Amino acid sequence: MSNIVVPSLENNNKTSNQLTKKTGIFQQISKIWAQKDLQAMAIPGVIWMIIFNFVPMYFIIIAFERYNVAKGILGSKWVGFDNFIEFFTDERFWLVMKNTFGLNLVRLLVGFPLPIIFAILLNELLSLKFKKLVQTLSYLPHFLSWIIVGGIMYNWLSDTGFITTILVDIGILDAPVHLIGTKEYFWGILVTSENWKEIGWNAIIYIAAISSIDPNLYEAANIDGAGRFRKIWNITLPSIKGTVAILLTLNIGNLLGSNFEQLFVFYRPILYDVIDVIDIYAYRIGIENGRLSYATAVSLFRSIFAFILLYSANKASKKLTDVSLV
């Protein structure tokens, strides 16, 4: 009499899991194929990211070398963490870190809520034509290069400039001062000029989020007798909470970053003590002096620290608001 083999429950489960995985893979392939036109449009962006974001990561190696252009990456002397140690023990290290955190913290505290406030105020305008006009005028400065904006700032804030003359005339300044070359005013000028240039552009995403709110919520609030402020507080702000949380997380992750183009336009030796953030320091010490290994080490430190900040902010956002990047 032949033996009858009865499949075990474990084997059945394995077979079922394999079939489920295969079905899931086929479904994903079918979904991608159905969206082949959209996928094709994404290919140039993926290629750009690979070329400019992933390929350059190979050159991070020079942060651990005494890089010599003639010898190349593989022929240069390996020095381990010497470049990092040199940066951490540099007499300007703490000044650079203070400037980086200080300036970006001021930017975050001032520059982050302003687009939100602007978007909410814009949403409250009753005239559609006036709303479009204000929105258009507000984001036009975004398309000006920092070279142009820097030229405007230098003309307006010099000792004979338009703004300086007004401040003297109304008694805020006792005598004409070259404001843009004065350390005490420099951070304020940076933050003000950046917000003037970018507030309209940064508000676009909040305007889009507000426009997606269900109008029935506002109609119900009107029936209940809620005023504008109450509707903003109880409907508008809670509805865009996810957008705010995501963008705040990204901004916190960029606390060690900098608007290099803006800083480079205003870059002057007299301002080193207030303008020496990590990126400017890496450019000044590393690039200008041809110390590519040192500049790479400084930039790598900034990137690692920024990742830690971003990861921590994302975790906090997930815990507090249940909204996160991933």
Residue 267, domain CATH:
1.10.3720.10
Q: Do residue 50 and residue 97 come from a single domain?
A: no
Q: Is 168 inside any structural domain?
A: yes
pLDDT at residue 107 is higher than 70 = yes
Q: Quick check: is 243 in a domain? A: yes
Is 142's pLDDT higher than 80?
Answer: yes
Tell me if 65 is assigned to some domain. Answer: no
Query: Residue 169 sits in which domain range?
Result: 89-321
Pair (200, 247) in one structural domain? yes
Q: Which residue has the tokens 């032949």?
A: 2
Per-residue pLDDT at 9 exceeds 80: no
Residue 17 within a domain: yes
Average pLDDT, the chain: 85
Q: Do 119 and 131 form a contact (C-beta atoms < 8 A)? A: no
Residue 214 has pLDDT above 60, yes or no: yes
Q: Is the pLDDT of residue 206 over 60?
A: yes
Q: Whose CA is closest to 211, among 247, 189, 172, 243?
A: 243
Task: Name the pLDDT band for 196 (thresholds 50, 70, 90).
Answer: very high
Residues 220 and 165 reside in one and the same domain: yes
Q: Is residue 4 scored above 80 in pLDDT? A: no
What is the model's pLDDT at position 85?
A: 93
Q: Which of 10-14, 37-41, 131-135 has the lowest mean pLDDT?
A: 10-14
Q: What secondary structure letter does DSSP report for 60?
A: G
65 bridge partner residues:
78
Residues 39, 135 share a domain = no
Cβ–Cβ < 8 Å for 278, 44: no
Region 36-50 average pLDDT? 86
* Residue 1 counted as domain residue: no
pLDDT of residue 1: 46
| pLDDT at 16 (0 to 100) | 57
Q: Cα–Cα–Cα angle for 145, 149, 150, nearest 5°?
A: 110
Sequence-separated (6 or more) residues with CB below 8 Å from residue 128? none
Same-domain pairing of 158 and 229: yes
DSSP alpha helix (H) spans, 50-161: 72-75, 82-88, 93-111, 113-123, 128-139, 146-157
Question: Does 225 reside within a domain?
Answer: yes
Percent helix, strand, coil in the chain, to 5, is: 75, 0, 20
Same-domain status, 49 and 118 = no
Look at residue 3 in the predicted model and tell me its pLDDT: 52
What's the total number of domains in the chain? 2
Q: Does the global pTM surpass 0.75?
A: yes
- For range 84-113, the mean pLDDT: 91
